[in-house]
Structure 1
Amino acid sequence: MAGLKGILFDKDGTLLDFDATWAPATHAVLEELSAGQTKLFEAMAAACGLNLNTMQFLPGSPIIAGDTADYAPVWADLLACPFDTDFEMRINALYRSASLLSLKGYDDVAPAIATLAKAGYQIGMATNDAESTARAHLRALGVEEQFSFVAGYDSGYGAKPAPGMVLAFADFLGVKPEQIALIGDSTHDMDAARAAGAHAIGIARTPAARDALNGHTDITVTDLQGLIDEVTNRVW
């Protein structure tokens, strides 16, 4: 345990209920972008893998693990406008506002973060969301002050599955990557951890996450208490 210094969390699907937060937010964003054009709205929803009947994302949706540049260019094409910095910033701003209205964090987030911080671990976040949105979400969950490091896809370290965020967290703490554990629900998270030389801990809160993570993790837990148990009992 003494060898582990930093715990780096993914956000969506790890700390936040993904579908409960992002399906309503995406619906609101697409309503704004499509401006009442039903067929355009439906085409944009289909392009990002949002099932409008179930309000869930289909497996393989670029929104699940990707960043804005992975899903917004096709919206720009459908709107017949360029995918440029202005459009990207508009999408991020719309999502920030909409997701704060539908934000649903898991019940174990605040107590688990407090327990880990009290135990002396440095807490960070590595998300393919925008950094400003990530900070707004942490603030809304009441845990922002316990995160010494927050990186989004636009923070200058690259996006997952590249290792930049993990390496930046290790540099920030002044420790080796193998003293970092990345906690996430997708293969992007696990690949980023492995590429950096950090511990890859999967959190399978849903059957879909369990299936996606199968064979890709060093350790798999089902909730944050499971993470605390692993951190406490394992020799790192």
Structure 2
Amino acid sequence: MTAIRGVLFDKDGTLFDFEETWRGWAASMLTDLAAGDAARAAALGARIGFDMERRNFDPASTVIAGTPDEIVQLLAPGVPELTEAELIERLNDAAALAPQVEAAPLGPLLSRLRAAGLKLGVATNDAEAPARAHLAAAGQEDAFDFIAGYDSGHGGKPAPGMCLAFAAAVDLPPNAVVMVGDSTHDLLAGRAAGMRCVAVLTGMAPATELAPLADAVLPDIGHLPDWLRL
């Protein structure tokens, strides 16, 4: 079996804990879009699978693995005063400012992986600009050899474009890369690219949903070095 020489991470739910990071953002963003009208905010939340009263996501919410464009398609009918371009700008601006909760201490983990000679990348269905803002805020943007969002020109997951672009960028065959993610979108993208896949449970999907598509299911990315035998 080809040795793993690169690790490609999803961002939300993988590098950062999904619910701890995004439920506060969702509540604030929906309240802002609804101009403080609680009933309207709740209705907007229902469109994207977010319960404003309980402050939690439905596991089937498009926000979990979808792109901003897909989220806008759901929200737009409830915010007719904004164009789709204005709405996506509002979402991306708010997302860039969302405080991120690390799924595991990123500094020591990424340093250990780089010290082992591994190439590192991020492939997210978020936009690239907020993704870079989140990694920079965590002090880790420079730890990655490759960062791509759904708008970086490679398409979004579950298509394999971002995965293949990472492999090409770091001059590795796809079978020397492991895709690490918390959703079936991540794992399907990795599989389609010919990569090995590791699932983590810091998103919303249960192990039973992820296991059929993964070579391993880990509690969080902090367990990755042991799986890699570093």
How do 1:159-198 residues align onto structure 2 when only pairs under 5 Å count?
159-198=156-195
Contact residue 50 and residue 57 of structure 1 kept, 8 A: yes
In structure 1, the residue matched to 2:59 is 59
2:141 to 141, 144, 154: 144
Alpha-carbon distance change, 87 to 135 in structure 1, aligned in 2, over 3 angstroms = same
Contact residue 187 and residue 213 of structure 2 kept, 8 A: yes
SS in 2 for 1:7: strand
Cα distance in structure 2, aligned partners of 1:221 and 1:86? 39
For residue 108 of structure 1, report the CA deviation from its aligned partner. Answer: 3.0
Task: Report which stretch shifted further, 215-224 or 134-143.
Answer: 215-224
For residue 121 of structure 1, report the CA deviation from its aligned partner. Answer: 0.3
Cα distance in structure 1, aligned partners of 2:201 and 2:118? 22
- For residues 72-119 of structure 1, what are the alpha-carbon distances to aligned partners after superposition, in whole Å with 9 as ceiling and x for unaligned? 22211111256533332222112222x13xx21123322111100111
Q: Is it true that 1:232 corresponds to 2:229 in the alignment? A: yes
Residue type of the alignment partner of 2:9: F
For residue 12 of structure 1, report the CA deviation from its aligned partner. Answer: 0.9
Q: Is it true that 1:117 corresponds to 2:114 in the alignment? A: yes
Residue type of the alignment partner of 1:221: L
How do 1:32-47 residues align onto structure 2 when only pairs under 5 Å count?
32-47=32-47
Residue type of the alignment partner of 1:93: D
In structure 2, the residue matched to 1:27 is 27
**Structure 2 length-normalised TM:** 0.93
Residue type of the alignment partner of 2:45: A
Alpha-carbon distance change, 79 to 207 in structure 1, aligned in 2, over 3 angstroms = closer
In structure 2, the residue matched to 1:88 is 88
In structure 2, the residue matched to 1:220 is 217
Contact residue 26 and residue 95 of structure 1 kept, 8 A: no
SS in 2 for 1:14: coil
**Structure 1 length-normalised TM:** 0.91
Q: Percent identity?
A: 37
Alpha-carbon distance change, 207 to 18 in structure 1, aligned in 2, over 3 angstroms = closer
Count, aligned residues: 230
In structure 2, the residue matched to 1:78 is 78
Contact residue 72 and residue 83 of structure 1 kept, 8 A: no
Contact residue 6 and residue 122 of structure 1 kept, 8 A: yes
For residue 209 of structure 1, report the CA deviation from its aligned partner. Answer: 3.4
How do 1:89-108 residues align onto structure 2 when only pairs under 5 Å count?
89-97=89-97, 99-100=98-99, 103-108=100-105
Contact residue 103 and residue 220 of structure 2 kept, 8 A: no
